[in-house]
Amino acid sequence: MIKFFRKIRQKLLSENKFSKYILYAIGEIILVVIGILIALQINNANNNRIERAREIKYLTNIKIDLYKDIESLEYNIEFREKKSIGTQKIIEQINGMPIENLSETAYNVVNTLYQERFQPSNITYNDLVSSGNMNLISNDSIKIDLFELTNGYPSIFGEATVGYQYK
């Protein structure tokens, strides 16, 4: 291919057709520019594909974190319901109801004193923020929801929520 173009250039120069040579040179430059533009377009498309794959990975991990939070909250609800029932039994026993099962009463007393704290699973969110990859999330409503969720944890669960870093 290169020999072909070289022969055309040499032929035009040897025949003293300078204006045709200039047109040929401009055409060759245009072909090179078009080739560069195509390569840039392919590179941009590849970069966009890689960024979308990273976005999907982050969103999948956020979904997993949220499912972990749901499981933890369901466990906490169940634990606190049992704790409430046990506390009610202790109150009844203090008010004169006879103790029928001493180990159950001991269990209820221990559960009354034990406090289970919610620990949000925010590993992916912290990674997004600390690495500066929050811009990978293309959907603005998802970004806003993430900010609101993480900012809402302290007000819902209190400042003493273990394992959570407030910003």
Q: What is the mean pLDDT of residues 124-139?
A: 89
Give the torsion sign (CA, 67, 72, 73, 78): positive
Q: What pLDDT shows up at residue 118?
A: 82
**Of the listed ranges 41-55, 73-87, 145-159, the one predicted with least confidence:** 145-159
Q: Where do the domains of the chain lie? A: 2-157
Is residue 128 over pLDDT 70? yes
The rounded distance, in Å, linking the Cα atoms of 87 and 139 is 46
Is residue 167 over pLDDT 50? no
pLDDT 10s digits, 15-68: 776 677 677 778 889 989 999 999 999 999 999 999 999 999 999 999 999 999
Share above pLDDT 90 across residues of the chain, in percent, rounded to a whole number = 35
Instruction: Report the run of H or E that residue 113 belongs to, with start and end.
Output: helix 102-113
The rounded distance, in Å, linking the Cα atoms of 104 and 85 is 12
Q: What pLDDT shows up at residue 166?
A: 36
pLDDT 10s digits, 85-113: 999 999 999 898 888 888 998 988 888 88
Q: What pLDDT shows up at residue 1?
A: 58
DSSP-assigned states of every residue in 17-34: -HHHHHHHHHHHHHHHHH
Q: Which of 141, 35, 118 is closest to 71 using CA atoms? A: 118
End-to-end CA distance of the chain: 61
The rounded distance, in Å, linking the Cα atoms of 109 and 128 is 43
Q: Are 142 and 100 in contact (CB under 8 A)?
A: no
User: What separation in angstroms does the CA of 117 have from each of 80, 108, 162?
Assistant: 11, 18, 7
For residue 156 the two structure tokens come to 């819902």
Mean pLDDT of the chain: 84
Q: What pLDDT shows up at residue 21?
A: 67
